Amino acid sequence: MFLMLGLGLSTQAAAFKSAVVTIDGLTCSMCSYGVEQSLRKLDFIDDVVMDLNSNTARITFDQKEEISVSDIAKGVRNAGFSVRSLVCVAEIEEQSVHELESIQVGDIACTFIDIQNTDLEGEVSLTLIGAPYMSKKEWKRWRKKCPENSMPVIPGTIREFCYVTL
Amino acid sequence: MKGFLIGFLLLLMSFSGMSQELFIHNEPASVLPKSSLAFRSIHQFYKEDGLLRSRQALRVTRGMTAKWELGIEAGLSNHNHPNLVSELYDDGDLDHDHDHGGDNVNVEHIHPTSFTGFTLYSQYRFFTDDGPNQHLRAAVYGILSTNRTTHNYAEPNLYHRNAGLSSGLILTWLKKRFAASGRLGGIVPFGFSPKENNRYFRSGNALGYSLSLGYLAYPRKYQSYKQVNINFYLELMGKAFQQARIRDEIRWYPALAEDETSPGGYLDINPGVQFILDSRFRIDISTGFPLISRSMAMDYPQFHLALQYLYF
């Protein structure tokens, strides 16, 4: 059974605006172009600016569409590469968060791990934690901190769950 | 020439430092991005007895999933003659002065350009270890060929001579500007019955192997997708194969020993250069020379030109 955690789910208004995804496993511009095109196929992605030297894609979301963080990771994998890091920028109304507390961003439930009690307001960068969002080595380090069966019980508006840190 | 090639190889290996694994002759363990479609036209030439032998092929490959690609190639060549050389078997009259008259006179010089068949290629990447500007990957591949041309070579070639099956493994390592990839696979050709001939001919079973090295020479630093990429490649490729066999109405038996039908093996070296325009159009140019022994099925030097457009 899922456990209800911390103060449960906050449903205060929050939305993802943009993201930065760093990609592992490639060096050539043809490969970077493949990743960019794969990401551009996602309806909720408005624009992608790729840095060909650092293989970092700056993504702007189309606010009218349903955003999916797991689809971003899938887009990178479909092009044949791996996500090293995924940082999403969320616009959050004033709110304080605690370890293992979840907030709702759009229709995604984000559970905070490895944080102190923190007040959030305005644009906040959330680093995604999970096997699809980081290197295998990094996930090995993080997985112990991610409690199993810890996703909050959520009303029907939630499509996706993820762990995040600040 | 050999000294130059070894020097080139050492030069290539001494670079450390973004690389290229878009090898001209061999597939890396990586596959095409999902839903992308690559169109490649392939043109190969060499001179033999003063004649220009050529092969033209079109290959279409699609990334079916993130890890699986599927391709089909169809080609024309003038490498082959229409009839099986009758010196290969004992036709009963024991007259092997190579003057058979009729259809088999000067078969070496009859080279109509003809459609050779289809080759289906499938590759699945089963191991991936990606890091910043690097990866180590492994894939398994399978080939099914319907090519059917008359020839007398023990060496099988599923891309324009033999119908048959092949399967093997590819291991590719990429680090910044340098990439290296090895391939090892088995080849099982099917027998075929040449035109106007009661015999079946079957090339030998074979092992195919390659080591491909690639180096990204330009640009040193990326500024846009529009920049031309220049990559240098050195690919060592070869096969080791069993003796060709002939079948009459009763049984298979080894083809009478000739250079072409004997068991053997070789390793060729193929230096090449590649230009990538607009991050999606590839121009591949390479030449091939024998390094250890040689192929009896083709002459040297070989010239290879390929153009590929990748639709994402």
Q: Do A28 and B129 touch (CB under 8 A)?
A: no
Name the nearest CA neighbour of B300 among B97, B94, B53: B53
Percent of chain A with pLDDT over 90: 57
Using a 10 angstrom Cβ sphere, with 0-12 exposed, 13-18 middle and 19 or more buried, the burial of residue B187 is buried
pTM: 0.88
Q: How far is B177 from chain A (nearest CA, A)?
A: 7
pLDDT-derived band of residue A72, with 50, 70 and 90 as boundaries?
very high
Q: Residue A106 has what pLDDT? A: 86
Tens of pLDDT, residue by residue, chain B (312 residues): 556 555 655 555 544 434 578 999 999 999 999 999 999 999 999 998 888 899 999 999 999 999 999 999 999 998 776 666 555 665 544 333 333 333 343 445 557 788 999 999 999 999 999 999 899 999 999 999 999 888 889 999 999 899 999 999 999 999 989 999 999 999 999 988 776 667 788 999 999 999 999 999 999 999 999 999 999 999 999 999 999 998 887 888 888 877 888 999 999 999 999 999 999 999 999 999 999 999 998 999 999 999 999 999
Q: Do B225 and A135 touch (CB under 8 A)?
A: no
Average pLDDT in the A60-80 region? 94
Choose, out of B128, B134, B178, B226, the residue to mutate when testing the contact with A (most A CBs < 10 Å).
Answer: B128
What B138-141 contacts at long range (C-beta under 8 Å, 24+ apart), as own/partner pairs, is: B138/B29, B138/B169, B138/B170, B138/B171, B138/B172, B139/B27, B139/B29, B139/B30, B139/B31, B139/B169, B139/B170, B139/B172, B140/B167, B140/B168, B140/B169, B140/B170, B141/B27, B141/B166, B141/B167, B141/B168, B141/B169, B141/B170, B141/B185
Whether B217 and A27 have beta carbons less than 8 Å apart is answered as no
**C-beta atoms surrounding A147 within 10 Å:** 13
Q: Residue B13 has what pLDDT? A: 52
The 3 state secondary structure assigned to B230-263 is EEEEEEEEEEEECCCEEECCCCEEECCCCCCCCC
- The answer to whether residue A84 scores a pLDDT higher than 90 is yes
pLDDT-derived band of residue A101, with 50, 70 and 90 as boundaries?
confident
Rounded to the nearest integer, the mean pLDDT of chain A is 87
Q: How far is A57 from chain B (nearest CA, A)?
A: 13
Q: What is the distance between the alpha carbons of residues A85 and A9, in angstroms, rounded to a whole number?
A: 25
Q: Do A29 and B63 touch (CB under 8 A)?
A: no
pLDDT-derived band of residue A3, with 50, 70 and 90 as boundaries?
very low
Q: Residue B87 has what pLDDT? A: 57
A53 neighbourhood in chain B, CB within 8 Å:
221-222
Whether B185 and B165 have beta carbons less than 8 Å apart is answered as no
Q: Residue A36 has what pLDDT? A: 95
Read off the tokens for B278: 């607009």
Task: Find the radius of gyration of the CA atoms of chain B.
Answer: 21
B31 neighbourhood in chain A, CB within 8 Å:
80
- The answer to whether residue A55 scores a pLDDT higher than 80 is yes
Q: How far is A73 from chain B (nearest CA, A)?
A: 12
Q: Do A25 and B19 touch (CB under 8 A)?
A: no
The 3 state secondary structure assigned to A1-41 is CCCCCCCCEECCCEEEEEEEEEEECCCCHHHHHHHHHHHHC
Q: What is the distance between the alpha carbons of residues B85 and B244, in angstroms, rounded to a whole number?
A: 13
Task: Find the radius of gyration of the CA atoms of chain A.
Answer: 16
Q: Do B176 and A25 touch (CB under 8 A)?
A: no
Strands B37-48 and A108-112: unpaired
